Structure 1
């Protein structure tokens, strides 16, 4: 569903606000959508689709974006928007590197990142620009939720410099009419053009977590810092920083939500020591956070926590304890990767539920679980990997998360 300029004007009005309250009372699920939309059209014939789109976007934004219950947004914008804790981390880093700077978000969309930048201490002023007038109108509303001095909003092409800002941010679009795109030349605007237009100026570009940044370095000569960010176990983005002087080449930033609503952070960088002991099998197997793995910093993480690798080419770590806040699996026995052997071992232990983790082998966890025909009642975990060229299986107790120290 699309939202028009007229829709945004309506949604921002007092009458539109009440209409959104009415729409929020409908389930708006796939099964009910047609009937819900028909009822809303009987009351708001010109704006029913926009009401549905906005309410569903707010529901998707819940737990991801600040002010989710009052945002004006569409589904695609919410999907691409940076989660508030991740945006806050970036804003704090910009303020640390460039205190008092004027920051220009070149692809501000609905203003999700702008709201965080505007509220961040240490940032001087904020500009947001976008080509889409509807998204800009949404951003204007969303920024009004924050209070204080609102950022300046401009309608402008990201590839046409329109300000003398000291730091630029861009989040190129990763969807087109055919769905999600993955090539750096398919982004909107294209990544290499962005980097060329703003060459020599501090720039931060948010990219998909699956970005092949090694290819970007070796093929296209990118020399900045690559920061991989995860939130609550999910890798959210690869962030490119062009002002990399004195900074490590790679950085993993791991954010975790606390029960009190705050967020914890730890980081691992390519400047950290990585001299690990000889590979082996310890009491526990630890699967590092995805940001650490994607950033290529497993050895640095292992050194910090006194762990070693099962194999030098595999990202599983092992040792006598699980790092605070991390999830580990206590090893019961090592087995060959033979289905008959695994089925027999699991049956002997009355296994009824099984978490399967795979790294380094071509195994589908769901298909394997079905073929193992579990009939018991006890939970276990099975880690399938390789040591050298040999596939190995580790039957483990269910994964547990070590207590945090904060």
Structure 2
């Protein structure tokens, strides 16, 4: 849960005295091994302020992997956990460029910081006094941002695009039930019916069951699916109801939608196997991605793709051999190939990769990859070169 900050804490941490104290505490290791000793030292120097100082320094260190330019920001533990990674927030902001935007669950201001350079006016509101004061500190350099205390379910702006990020925890546990989000997703959608709306959601939500009439965009960053976003019809292209967006810290972003072709061949496995990015899989756009890149499916019910080439910049597995999945025969073949390090990918089969790897008892030196999947009714294993 983390330390419970107060408005007084925020005032102190944002003052010249507090900033100097934070710089002093930041010189300490504050690791799990040293924390008790470090905390005792901070208490000796700063008394009752010690917990707030140590928590802030530790949160800032965690934030560097997620948020850009947040080295001087103030956070709560929950707010940092829920904050959108900067790359994802900036992507959403580019889709809203030129519009006035109201973030009705603004928290400590991570989304507002991404919106401010792209939008003429940005309004943030929240019911949490401490987070609002933190947001005010964090966004002090943005003159086009206005903050207010308001309930997300009570509209208080006009002529704005409304954005929201309902909290995904209920009773201390992460939830995928739309009605248990805070605020509840059905209530939020009702409150802004007819407005231009973009709502960040968990990617595991059942979007077909939700019956959202606009676009569902699933976004990944550096190979990890980060979120889904519900876009109202006024904020998307005609005919688009599903979109996958793939962001990378090392390569250009790309996107694919269900408005693109999805007709693919039915052919035997090719020379390569491709595991599509998780955003493509979660968005239900595997066939669209295959059609775009000249690939086809190993099985119509499985997300693995195959072909004789690999899309540029994509990790592919070159097939060495194919066999029915039988452990004894597989073990013999892997030993024959002097297999040692082994990556195991599995879909459509009830296999624990770690347990299987242990049972295979490999002691060789050559790295390989196994792709185990169901083709028709049979479990099939592809022995591949590790890329």
TM-score by length of 1: 0.92
Shift of residue 242, structure 1, vs aligned partner: 1.5
Q: Which residue of 1 aligns with 2:111?
A: 113
Residue 200 and residue 70 in structure 1: after superposition, are their counterparts in 2 closer, same or farther (change >3 A)?
Answer: same
Q: Which residue of 2 aligns with 1:180?
A: 174
In structure 1, the residue corresponding to 2:28 is in which secondary structure?
Answer: coil
Is the counterpart of residue 234 in structure 1 residue 224 in structure 2? yes
Shift of residue 300, structure 1, vs aligned partner: 0.5
Q: Which residue of 1 aligns with 2:20?
A: 18
1:101-180 matches, within 5 Å, as: 101-120=99-118, 123-144=119-140, 147-180=141-174
Q: Which residue of 2 aligns with 1:69?
A: 71
In structure 2, the residue corresponding to 1:264 is in which secondary structure?
Answer: coil
Per-residue displacement from partner, 1:317-357 (whole Å, max 9, x unpaired)?
A: 11111101111000000022111111111111111101110
Is the counterpart of residue 55 in structure 1 residue 57 in structure 2? yes
CA distance in 2 between partners of 1:273 and 1:136 (Å)? 46
Per-residue displacement from partner, 1:229-262 (whole Å, max 9, x unpaired)?
A: 001100000100112561401000011112xxxx
Shift of residue 189, structure 1, vs aligned partner: 0.2
Shift of residue 176, structure 1, vs aligned partner: 4.2
Is the counterpart of residue 380 in structure 1 residue 368 in structure 2? yes
Picking from 238, 241, 249, the partner of 1:257 is 249
CA distance in 2 between partners of 1:365 and 1:56 (Å)? 35
Contact kept, 8 Å, 2:217 with 2:243, in 1: the verdict is yes
CA distance in 2 between partners of 1:125 and 1:142 (Å)? 17
Q: Which residue of 1 aligns with 2:275?
A: 287
Shift of residue 280, structure 1, vs aligned partner: 2.0
Contact kept, 8 Å, 2:165 with 2:201, in 1: the verdict is yes
CA distance in 2 between partners of 1:339 and 1:303 (Å)? 34
Residue 387 and residue 22 in structure 1: after superposition, are their counterparts in 2 closer, same or farther (change >3 A)?
Answer: same
> What CA RMSD, in Å, does the superposition of the two structures yield over aligned residues?
1.3
Is the counterpart of residue 8 in structure 1 residue 10 in structure 2? yes
In structure 2, the residue corresponding to 1:341 is in which secondary structure?
Answer: helix
In structure 2, the residue corresponding to 1:88 is in which secondary structure?
Answer: helix
Contact kept, 8 Å, 1:105 with 1:170, in 2: the verdict is yes
In structure 2, the residue corresponding to 1:16 is in which secondary structure?
Answer: helix
Shift of residue 116, structure 1, vs aligned partner: 0.7
CA distance in 1 between partners of 2:54 and 2:204 (Å)? 32
Deviates more, 1:286-295 or 1:206-215: 206-215
In structure 2, the residue corresponding to 1:85 is in which secondary structure?
Answer: helix
Which consecutive residues of structure 2, in runs of 5 or more, have no partner in the other structure? none
Contact kept, 8 Å, 2:120 with 2:144, in 1: the verdict is no
CA distance in 2 between partners of 1:52 and 1:337 (Å)? 53
Picking from 21, 24, 29, the partner of 1:27 is 29
CA distance in 1 between partners of 2:292 and 2:188 (Å)? 36
Contact kept, 8 Å, 2:106 with 2:125, in 1: the verdict is yes
In structure 2, the residue corresponding to 1:311 is in which secondary structure?
Answer: coil
Q: Which residue of 2 aligns with 1:215?
A: 209
Contact kept, 8 Å, 1:91 with 1:117, in 2: the verdict is yes
Which consecutive residues of structure 1, in runs of 5 or more, have no partner in the other structure? 400-406
Contact kept, 8 Å, 1:104 with 1:165, in 2: the verdict is no
CA distance in 2 between partners of 1:279 and 1:54 (Å)? 56
Is the counterpart of residue 246 in structure 1 residue 238 in structure 2? yes
Contact kept, 8 Å, 2:121 with 2:144, in 1: the verdict is no
CA distance in 2 between partners of 1:223 and 1:148 (Å)? 34
Q: Which residue of 2 aligns with 1:402?
A: none
Contact kept, 8 Å, 1:2 with 1:49, in 2: the verdict is no
CA distance in 2 between partners of 1:79 and 1:148 (Å)? 23
Shift of residue 63, structure 1, vs aligned partner: 2.9
CA distance in 1 between partners of 2:272 and 2:300 (Å)? 17
Shift of residue 180, structure 1, vs aligned partner: 1.9
Per-residue displacement from partner, 1:200-238 (whole Å, max 9, x unpaired)?
A: 001100001111111111xxxx21110000011000001
Contact kept, 8 Å, 2:269 with 2:306, in 1: the verdict is yes
